[in-house]
Amino acid sequence: MNKKVRVRFAPSPTGALHIGGVRTALFNYLFAKKHGGDFILRIEDTDQNRYVAGAEQYIIDALNWCGIPFDEGPSSSLDNNTVKEGDFGPYRQSERKDLYKQYADVLIASGNAYYAFDTSENLDFQRKDHEANGKTFIYNWHNRLKLSNSLSLSEAEVQAKLALGEQYVIRFKSPQDEKLILHDIIRGEIHIDTNILDDKVLFKSDGMPTYHLANIVDDHLMEISHVIRGEEWLPSLALHKQLYDALGWTAPEFAHLPLIMKPVGKGKLSKRDGEKLGFPVFPLSWNGSKGYREEGYFKEAVINFLAMLGWNPGTEQEIFSLSELVAAFSLERVNKSGARFDADKTKWYNQQYLQEKGDAELASLYLPIVQEKVLDCPLTDHPTIEKIVSLIKERAVFVSDFWELSDYFFIAPTSYNEKASKKQWKEGTSHILNQLVSLLGDISDFSSENVETTVKKWINDEELSFGKVMPPLRLVIVGDLKGPHIFDILEVIGKEESIARITKATTSLK
């Protein structure tokens, strides 16, 4: 690529950032870093009626948490006192509004745009009239001369309306009887008949541009080389390419990403799907809805599963670090068809990353949970928590699963699984376990390996079956027939606690 790669992620601050938006940001980031380029955040807030306070900061926080920070962006988004403003700001469209009118005027002067003074009532009448005749109203060459605009009015009439301050919009003049051939990196050639295009509004008399004009002007002035955005913008590609041509600018390359689809059925993944099926659709919590961070997902897992939604590395590899994603990513391997969201697969990814993390790191994450659950317990030191984590983590998907998998380390069972008790506690079991108490009391080296060797030798010497000893022992130590290697559990809780639990059970279980 001869031109420096500059891509942008341009969300509107109208609410929480959906994971579909995060994936768009991610693909832009991966492409930029793959080619040594810049990843820009631009806040498209021209629609002030839909602006939501806090949404911009949410977007910034989400990108930073995901580990895909932008190189340039709004000046208020300071990260560790590092200014993100580049040479192409401001990065909020509301702060750039003085730029857009001049380009709208250029389009009018070149005959590629025109003033339209139609009232909303008149346009509504036109739509209903067309519907009554089985037609669809399109504001373009079919009927623009029958409507109130600078193409149907005289120059004097137009100037008079402007002088009186009548409300107007500036519309793009879509050409008649032309065939457009557009190129999309993901979808290839796209052919468009201009006769079906409507004359989109570019600018309003309140001084604000619509998305279409602001988007094109900003991308040009910010020297954006590639526009990587969601499939929902594909219908706008024809207009945007025509605007570039009309302004005499070289258009960037375009790539339209496939939708993230519902887990079941058809349609785009929505917040309601997450609420109904019990999974997050936001990276961070928003207005009572938990995000992936709050649900206990690792950011690396979120990035990994999002990358695989619509992109195929061409290999069997599924686990990628961010640097590996950068190295492997290409737009040519992005799928055209939508990617079905699989909530179980997202959990699988988190489990893989959990297993890869060191026990010390996981212990640091688990320790606050333990300290909240048990106020006074000798096992809440970091080395012990680290040992416990090493024994139970392979069964966990989230760090929050650790407590259910290990609570018996910290709290002696107060009851025993009823079904297991009926099956394992037989006549003579209490006597056998009382003998075991005596044996354990004489062991000075209470390591897992030594205790196991000693107990197994005793079982063989006493000609007992392992079935008469081991399941009941697990039951009285854990409260159930679950958990890791029983002798590892005994080592962690210690001799005194092990004997206390066995003794208590032999008096309560009959």
Task: Give the confidence band of 49 by pLDDT, cuts at 50, 70, 90.
Answer: confident
* Chain centre distance of CA 402: 24
Mean pLDDT of the chain: 93
Q: Which two tokens stand for residue 297?
A: 């997902």
Pairing of strands 169-172, 113-116: antiparallel
Radius of gyration of the chain (CA): 33
Report the amino acid identity of residue 173: K
Q: What are the tens digits of pLDDT across the range 360-388?
A: 999 999 999 999 998 777 777 899 999 99
Residue 297 and residue 402: Cα distance in Å, rounded?
14
pLDDT of residue 76: 57
The region of weakest confidence among 61-70, 198-207, 264-273, 293-302 is 264-273
Say if residues 338 and 261 touch (Cβ distance below 8 Å): yes
Nearest 5°: the CA angle 421, 422, 428 is 85
78 vs 388, more confident: 388
Q: What are the tens digits of pLDDT across the range 121-160?
A: 999 999 999 999 999 999 999 999 999 999 999 999 999 9
pLDDT of residue 78: 47
Task: Give the confidence band of 181 by pLDDT, cuts at 50, 70, 90.
Answer: very high
Half-sphere exposure at residue 143, Cβ-oriented, CA atoms within 13 angstroms: 15
Report the amino acid identity of residue 324: E
104 vs 45, more confident: 104
Sequence-distant (≥ 6) Cβ neighbours of residue 85 within 8 angstroms: 72, 73, 74, 75, 91
Pairing of strands 179-184, 188-193: antiparallel
Say if residues 359 and 389 touch (Cβ distance below 8 Å): yes
Q: Which two tokens stand for residue 136?
A: 């669809």
Q: What is the mean pLDDT of residues 378-402?
A: 94
Sequence-distant (≥ 6) Cβ neighbours of residue 453 within 8 angstroms: none
Helix (H) or strand (E) holding 271: helix 271-277
pLDDT of residue 46: 78
Question: pLDDT exceeding 70 applies to what percent of the chain?
Answer: 97
Most confident of 84-88, 261-265, 274-278, 344-348: 344-348
Beta bridge partners of 8: 40
The region of weakest confidence among 41-45, 77-81, 212-216, 236-240 is 77-81
What number of residues does the chain have?
510
Nearest 5°: the CA angle 362, 368, 370 is 90
pLDDT of residue 3: 83
Question: pLDDT exceeding 90 applies to what percent of the chain?
Answer: 86
Sequence-distant (≥ 6) Cβ neighbours of residue 353 within 8 angstroms: 298, 300, 301, 304, 319
Choosing from 34, 101, 204, 271, which is the catalytic residue?
271
* 271 in active site: yes
Three-class SS state of 196: helix
Torsion from C-alpha of 493, 497, 498, 501, nearest 10 degrees: -130
Res. 509: pLDDT tops 90: no
Q: What are the tens digits of pLDDT across the range 472-490?
A: 999 999 999 999 999 999 9
Say if residues 113 and 107 touch (Cβ distance below 8 Å): yes
pLDDT of residue 84: 67
Q: What are the tens digits of pLDDT across the range 406-450?
A: 999 999 999 999 999 999 999 899 999 999 999 999 999 999 999
Sequence-distant (≥ 6) Cβ neighbours of residue 339 within 8 angstroms: 258, 259, 260, 261, 309, 310
Res. 81: pLDDT tops 50: no
Q: Could you tell me the pTM of the whole model?
A: 0.92
